[in-house]
Amino acid sequence: MTRLQRLFRIAWVFCRYRLDTFLPLAELPGPLKVFFLLAPWHLFPQPKLSRGDRLRLAMEELGPVFVKFGQILSTRRDLLPDDMAESLKHLQDRVPPFPSSTAREIIETSLGAPVAELFSEFSADPMASASVAQVHAATLLNGQKVVVKVLRPGIERVIQQDLALMYLMAGLLEKYWSEGKRLHPVEVVADYDSTIHDELDLQREAANASQLRRNFDNSSLIYIPFIDWDYTRKTVLVMERIHGIPIADVPALQAAGVDMKVLAEKGVEIFFTQVFRDSFFHADMHPGNIFVDVSNPADPKYIAIDFGIVGTLAPDDQSYLARNLLAFFRRDYRQVAQLHIQSGWVPPHTRVNEFEAAIRTVCEPIFEKPLKDISFGHFLLRLFQTARRFNMEVQPQLVLLQKTLLNVEGLGRQLYPDLDLWSTAQPFLESWMRKRIGPSGLIKSLQSHLPAWLEQSPEMPQLVHDTLVQLRSSGPTEEQNRATLELLRDNQKRAERRWRRTLIAAALVAGAWVSAHYELPALAQSLPPWGWAMLAVAAGLVARGGR
């Protein structure tokens, strides 16, 4: 019943703002065209508002899920006309606020004291109002200027209704749509479900902010405000008040003399640093959450807020993405095709030559062009068509990364249209890959794995003995016992060999490290020949394992 009510609500808003006028009726199939021409929304008069305002107001009425979708669209000037994109910009921090009296009640309930006893000053009028929470300016008793973020009352119930409807629609798509199984719509919704619920816990957001602040401590790229944990709860967050120019206010940035090229390039560097160096990235980087410190216009610094949504990547995903991006930048489309097949993203029987040719057809036109001349939306559409042709599966764990990349690209387009996204990102990725697979990266990897191997290897004989006892008590046949005993004896011998090789490998790695440490201080640059020999033998022993 709740899902049905929500569906009627969406249909009502659709009719009220006459969103049917956005549909390309002439391009629809005959039956759908007849349906839309006879649909009941024609009984509603068309509001005397611009199409952008109608879309914005409809999204505001439908709640946070739709507001966030509008926030993403607002950065996509290549996908939307300027008038619609301009209207959707107001979704970033101008969602209608809830009463300040309600905000005070939530603060006092959460912190257990009257607002007057918590703050020397508290502004009744919110500084900004977003889809999930709103923000009030305040001053602590010690004189520190802060902002108080308060969760919207009843927001969890509204989101739950939207998610229920999204699960229903995703399930139908996966069951009845030919592309459903490949695109994993239910998994994508489940991933968003986890994300949006994380955003409803302001203590989690505060923890995310603290982590990002540590990652960029004393950085010239970005500043993260500090969190006052004494005044932070699940529904209330108190954070340092920052001062800067909204990144979407390009005229103000230009008037302040900001070097727009440097600012745009820093945005790209911040994204790749978070993804590949830290594997912890701000995944809600729409313009409403980003400000600029212009105290040094020649070297501007980003200021980020709203850390409810962050993303992480596993080491395998990091490596896979870096190798793919570098292959794209170098136009090595064959390697891109092979990486997709090796990762299992496309079926193993895919013909490499055909896949390579399809990728080249999509990617080649976009290189050696300034960002202003590249339609990234068109590029993604072509990639999607290629994916359909080769049955490429959607990877739900990368949805947040793709969303963040779209936001970063949208910001770059607004700040400095001539930004060369590829040449800015390529040196960073090449440096990251050198550190990961070079001498220092290899030694670091071996050092991180050796302790686990050393801990587990001595236990192997006992584990074999315990397994034998368990098998004997379970009562299998004599023939099964004999085969199992033979297999376990062989495994025990392998474990003993692996243990010896691991100890030898550890000694060789230590020798290589000592050789680099004492004969060549710049460990990351090179090793002496005999140090390399030790490392090669150690890697061979580890790779052989128990064989």
Q: Would you state the structure tokens that stand for residue 124, as one six-digit string?
A: 């009744």
Q: Residue 438 to residues 11, 428, 482, 524, 532: CA-CA distances in angstroms?
A: 57, 15, 47, 7, 11
Contact of 509 with 538, CB cutoff 8 Å: yes
Per DSSP, 231 falls in state G
Paired sense of beta strands 290-293 and 245-246, if any: antiparallel
| Measured torsion, CA atoms of residues 364, 368, 369, 375, in degrees rounded to the nearest 10 | 20
Burial letters 59-91, b for 16+ CB under 10 A, else e:
bbbbbbbbbbebbbbbbbbbbbeeebbbbbbbb
Backbone angles phi, psi at 149, to 5 degrees: -95, 130
Closest CA to 351 of 388, 390, 383, 385: 390
Q: Provide the 10 A C-beta neighbour count for residue 7.
A: 14
Burial letters 488-501, b for 16+ CB under 10 A, else e:
beeebeebeebbeb
Closest CA to 188 of 399, 402, 419, 465: 399
The amino acid sitting at 421 is L
Q: Would you state the structure tokens that stand for residue 377, as one six-digit string?
A: 């939306």
Q: Distance between CA atoms of 127 and 138, rounded to whole angstroms? A: 10
284 is catalytic: yes
Q: Would you state the structure tokens that stand for residue 122, as one six-digit string?
A: 């508290």
Q: Residue 263 to residues 246, 250, 422: CA-CA distances in angstroms?
A: 13, 11, 16
Residue of 93, 162, 284, 293 marked catalytic: 284
- Listed in sequence order, the residues at least 6 apart from 131 whose beta carbon sits closer than 8 Å to its beta carbon are 63, 64, 67, 68, 71, 91, 95
* 3-state class (DSSP) for residue 187: helix
**Residue 99: burial class (beta carbons within 10 Å; 0-12, 13-18, 19+):** exposed
Phi and psi based region of residue 528 (left: phi greater than 0; alpha: psi -120 to 50; beta: remaining): beta
Report the catalytic residues: 284
